[in-house]
Structure 1
Amino acid sequence: MTNRVLILGGRGRIGSSVAQDLATHTQAEITITGRYPVAEGNEDAKWLSSKNNWTLGTGVQFLVLDLVEVDKLRQAIANSDLVIHCAGPFHYRDTQVLEICIELGVNYLDVSDHRSYTSKALSYNEQAAAANVTAIINTGIFPGISNSMVRQCVEQFDQAEKIHLSYLVSGSGGAGVTVMRTTFLGLQYPFEAWIDGNWQLVKPYSEREDISFASPYGNTGVYWFDMPETFTMPHSFPSVKTVITKFGSVPDFYNHLTWIAAHIFPKWLMQRRSMIEFLSYVSHFMTDVTNAYTGIGVAVRAEVTGQKDGKTAVYCANLVYENTALASGCGTGSIAQLLLEGKLKKPGVYPVEEALPTDLFVETMNSRGIKINSNWVKS
């Protein structure tokens, strides 16, 4: 029988990238959704039909669906073998779709990159396990592929002690306005980070640190940014006492503009939706200009420090990919492929690093031409 996959928010940059990955690597029947029909000439239509993107093909159907239409949503989920939630922004996301999937016994993936949704989703672990539903969250590039890179590093040690994750995106990363919103929403409040075995408040976009990324990026600045990994990895890897997640942009002047938004703009102004919308659209317009010079790639560097053979050692994994949005599609699509093929089954709700074994991660990345270079830095 043909597997049926429902991609909520599948018309957006990330969702359509997930659909493309599935269309390339599986025989699944794919349905992508959006709140409105794709009108000729609008941004989504241009993205979906762009000559710079792969063709989704006739195996992909489009369904007009607003998530507030619960009966229509329930019917669409009931007709699916797997639901992939790509609709954002994730700061305001509830667990309605996950709850329906658990109720109907349908497996679930989610690209959300926000701690609040991660926390809410994980609270349904027991219900999902009882329903024999595998639900995996944070499945894109970061979080997602980055989580599995950390797991691969942690497995090299007798005891891992510190995780340092650094992310770098060129221009828009090939993503849309929703991702811009996510960035600015992440600047609104301090967040808790796991440092030296304690939860400590950290200011967003603070403590710039120059990180040596793989070619062609080299030495580039990154800043503290609230990511679900900060929240999930202390649980996934109990011996770890520090988890650092830092993010930066190329060109570097975007970092300085973002720092100003985080530290100079009045907090009351940054907490207004109208301001977030203004900054998101202005930023998206600016990156449309600079993308031609910087590209839209992504770099991830995972560095783990721990004990190996009685000595302190450091192990690093590096990834570079030319299109951030497509990398996110590969991260989610690869896990979807494993679920559809029956190679991955873990009833409950889990972040990627707990659900995906390293051997399967390496296998799916290799099949997509994503090369992860790893090595001991010192011992």
Structure 2
Amino acid sequence: MAGGTRSGSLVRNLSKRVLILGGYGTFGSRIAQLLADRDDIQLIIAGHNRSRAESFASSLPGLAEGLRLERDSVNLPAQLKALHLDLLIHCAGPFQGQDYHVAEACIRSGIPYIDISDDRRFVCDFHRLSAEAERAGVTLVSGASSVPGLSSAVLRELRTEFGGIDAVEIDIAPAHRIARGLATVRAGFESLGREFPILRAGEWRETYTGDQLRKTRLAHPVGTRWVCNFDVPDLELWPRALPDLRHARFGTGVEPRTLQLGLAACARLARHNLPATQPWLARLGHRLAARWPGGSAHGGMQIHIGGRDRDGRPLGYRWQVLGLNGDGPWIPAAPAAALARKILDGNYQAPGARACWELLDLREILLEMNRFSIISACERIDTSSGTPLMPALQS
């Protein structure tokens, strides 16, 4: 145990015990730091590397402990039950291709569960666990991250302004001068060239990760960035929630431009079954990106929503959040921290398994980011010129 002096038995009686699996990684560590501001939470940092878990736990204020825990352990339910947990937050990605072993272990041990997955199939099929979770009286939530946790909170905030929504486009442009987790890089790199469906002109059409290389513009100081198509849960969840939706697209990219062009080229090579997305190349890319010159410490996310107001007139909004000076990675960490507080405080108890879709108010997420160089803004798109609200989607 690290980071405190009170007896473990006393703390167990007085504190909510929260285990963060992958808790010393890029996002897990930030979720831990966000929750460490509460004296009534005891954090348990877990992962396959015990020394890293213990070292990070010792850096946290208050009492925390670090331990070794494998996400695919055959006796994971028994291990979790022995820890007497009040919540488990699963951050041990990549989630692409991962099964629901951790969530199922939480059902069997009676522990509420949150994960930060942004994998489309993992999040969108998560409801398959719902019947078992309901019988056990356990709350399970998947996707408490930028997408769909934050993106759906923005929709929840703005949807009352609309009579109908027919188009949405989301772009995420991370900073270059930040620490990147290998799991995040692997997830993106290994998916290059992979086909997935998107809603375009009211029909489902195939695209692939790395397709439609294009420019997007965020507010200063982020500015113009290059992005390309990427598969996320929102591409399926937004059409489920909005019957009038005809267009949905998600784009992400890296900087400098040379790196983004290289990834687009890898995607095209992968389409021809050439070995451009092997795991060893992801590891090489992870190292190269950390050393590549150029780029900035600023990044951001924007959401365009287009449709009609209640009088049938064209209406559009653009919402942005910018992470400055290297603080961007706190943005995807914030939804999980906000949801964790709601569950621990008894303000969200819903046995079953579901995506993190409109479960949080936008203000709850933004409150987690108050101490960082993160700004957000929402603007109504001017329609007086008669131009399309969302030209990138209307073309």
Quick check: TM above 0.5? yes
Residue 24 (structure 2) pairs with residue 22 (structure 1): no
Query: 5 Å matches for 1:262-341?
Result: 262-265=267-270, 267-270=272-275, 275-290=277-292, 293-308=294-309, 309-322=311-324, 323-341=327-345
- Shift in Å at residue 4 of structure 1? 0.8
Q: 1:70 aligns with which of 57, 69, 74?
A: 74
Determine the structure 1 residue equivalent to 2:348: 344
The one-letter amino acid paired with 1:29 is: Q
Deviates more, 1:142-151 or 1:116-125: 142-151
Residue 183 (structure 2) pairs with residue 178 (structure 1): yes
- Shift in Å at residue 270 of structure 1? 4.0
Determine the structure 1 residue equivalent to 2:393: none
Residue 166 (structure 2) pairs with residue 166 (structure 1): no
The one-letter amino acid paired with 2:175 is: S
The 2-side partners of 1:280 and 1:326 are apart by 23
**TM-aligned CA distance change 1:366 to 1:127, over 3 Å:** farther
The 2-side partners of 1:211 and 1:353 are apart by 25
The 1-side partners of 2:101 and 2:43 are apart by 21
The 2-side partners of 1:82 and 1:232 are apart by 25
The 2-side partners of 1:20 and 1:77 are apart by 24
The one-letter amino acid paired with 1:33 is: A
- Cα deviations by residue, 1:294-331 (Å, 9 ceiling, x for unpaired): 34443100010011132011111000013333322222
- Cα deviations by residue, 1:84-104 (Å, 9 ceiling, x for unpaired): 111111112111111222233
The one-letter amino acid paired with 2:40 is: Q
Please give the secondary structure, in 1, of the residue aligned with 2:174: strand
Residue 92 (structure 2) pairs with residue 87 (structure 1): yes
Deviates more, 1:141-150 or 1:198-207: 141-150
Determine the structure 1 residue equivalent to 2:263: 258
| Counterpart contact for 2:80–2:109, Cα < 8 Å | no
| Counterpart contact for 2:80–2:106, Cα < 8 Å | no
The 2-side partners of 1:216 and 1:170 are apart by 11
Q: 1:4 aligns with which of 13, 17, 22?
A: 17
The one-letter amino acid paired with 1:112 is: S
- Shift in Å at residue 288 of structure 1? 1.8
Gaps of 5+ in 1: none
- Shift in Å at residue 374 of structure 1? 0.5
Q: Which runs of 4+ in 1 moved over 6 A?
A: none
The one-letter amino acid paired with 1:37 is: R
Please give the secondary structure, in 2, of the residue aligned with 1:155: helix
Determine the structure 1 residue equivalent to 2:7: none
The 2-side partners of 1:91 and 1:284 are apart by 17
The one-letter amino acid paired with 2:280 is: F
- Cα deviations by residue, 1:77-129 (Å, 9 ceiling, x for unpaired): 56211111111111121111112222333211111111121233122233333
The one-letter amino acid paired with 2:221 is: P
Gaps of 5+ in 2: 1-13, 384-395
| Counterpart contact for 1:19–1:329, Cα < 8 Å | no
The 2-side partners of 1:358 and 1:347 are apart by 23
Please give the secondary structure, in 2, of the residue aligned with 1:354: coil
- Cα deviations by residue, 1:202-221 (Å, 9 ceiling, x for unpaired): 12211123222122111222
Determine the structure 1 residue equivalent to 2:198: 193
- Shift in Å at residue 260 of structure 1? 0.6
Residue 224 (structure 2) pairs with residue 219 (structure 1): yes
| Counterpart contact for 1:25–1:337, Cα < 8 Å | no
| Counterpart contact for 2:217–2:223, Cα < 8 Å | yes
The 1-side partners of 2:238 and 2:39 are apart by 30
The one-letter amino acid paired with 1:70 is: V
| Counterpart contact for 1:150–1:302, Cα < 8 Å | no
What TM-score comes out, normalization by structure 1 length? 0.87
**TM-aligned CA distance change 1:286 to 1:370, over 3 Å:** same
- Shift in Å at residue 254 of structure 1? 1.3
- Shift in Å at residue 370 of structure 1? 4.3
- Shift in Å at residue 29 of structure 1? 0.7
- What is the identity percentage for the equivalent residue pairs of Structure 1 and Structure 2? 24
Residue 61 (structure 2) pairs with residue 57 (structure 1): yes
Q: CA RMSD in A?
A: 2.7
- Cα deviations by residue, 1:141-185 (Å, 9 ceiling, x for unpaired): 344323322332333212111111011012264221111101112
Q: 2:46 aligns with which of 10, 33, 40?
A: 33
- Shift in Å at residue 364 of structure 1? 4.6
What TM-score comes out, normalization by structure 2 length? 0.84
The one-letter amino acid paired with 2:206 is: L
- Shift in Å at residue 378 of structure 1? 2.1
| Counterpart contact for 2:330–2:369, Cα < 8 Å | no
**How many residues were matched structurally?**
366
Determine the structure 1 residue equivalent to 2:127: 122
- Cα deviations by residue, 1:32-61 (Å, 9 ceiling, x for unpaired): 11113226xxxx899x49xxxx94235221
**TM-aligned CA distance change 1:3 to 1:119, over 3 Å:** same
**TM-aligned CA distance change 1:361 to 1:171, over 3 Å:** closer
**TM-aligned CA distance change 1:255 to 1:60, over 3 Å:** same
The 2-side partners of 1:11 and 1:80 are apart by 18
